[in-house]
């Protein structure tokens, strides 16, 4: 399992607009082999958000970043002034995963 995350610092006065951009965008994620799950996470601190995607493998994620659906998903721009700095990307390979009632190595 591979996790890709982007941390966003959003102008707190425009948080609702930021969320609406995500709600109404076409992600095209489900068109890609190896895609498992996406979540937009809102932190406790005002303006703190993380986009969190789960992939079967790092290779599946990289293939998506080189695909036409990636270009389509990122064609729309975030309106000016919503984000304070540029998002910060973080990538993780799962070492251990656990689901309800079971644990397994990655």
Q: 3-state DSSP call for residue 62?
A: helix
Per-residue confidence (pLDDT) for residue 59, from 0 to 100: 97
Answer yes or no: pTM beyond 0.75: yes
What are the tokens at 52? Answer: 């969190």
- In words, the CATH class of domain 2-97 is alpha beta
Per-residue confidence (pLDDT) for residue 28, from 0 to 100: 85
Residue 86 makes CB contacts below 8 A (sequence gap 6+) with none
Task: Give domain limits for the chain.
Answer: 2-97
Per-residue confidence (pLDDT) for residue 75, from 0 to 100: 78
Per-residue confidence (pLDDT) for residue 106, from 0 to 100: 58
State the average pLDDT for the chain.
91
Q: pLDDT band for position 47 (50/70/90)?
A: very high
Based on the number of CB atoms within 10 Å of its own CB, is 61 exposed (0-12), middle (13-18) or buried (19 or more)? buried
Averaged pLDDT for residues 46-50: 97
């Amino acid at each position: 399992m591979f996790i890709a995350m982007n941390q966003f610092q959003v102008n707190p006065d425009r948080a609702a607009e930021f969320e609406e951009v995500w709600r109404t965008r076409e992600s095209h994620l489900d068109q890609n082999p190896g895609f498992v799950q996406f979540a937009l996470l809102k932190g406790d601190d005002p303006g703190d958000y993380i986009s969190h995607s789960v992939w079967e493998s790092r290779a599946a994620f990289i293939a998506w970043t080189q695909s036409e659906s990636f270009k389509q998903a990122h064609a729309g721009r975030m309106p000016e002034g919503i984000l304070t700095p540029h998002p910060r990307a973080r990538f993780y390979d799962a070492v251990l995963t656990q689901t309800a009632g079971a644990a397994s190595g990655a």
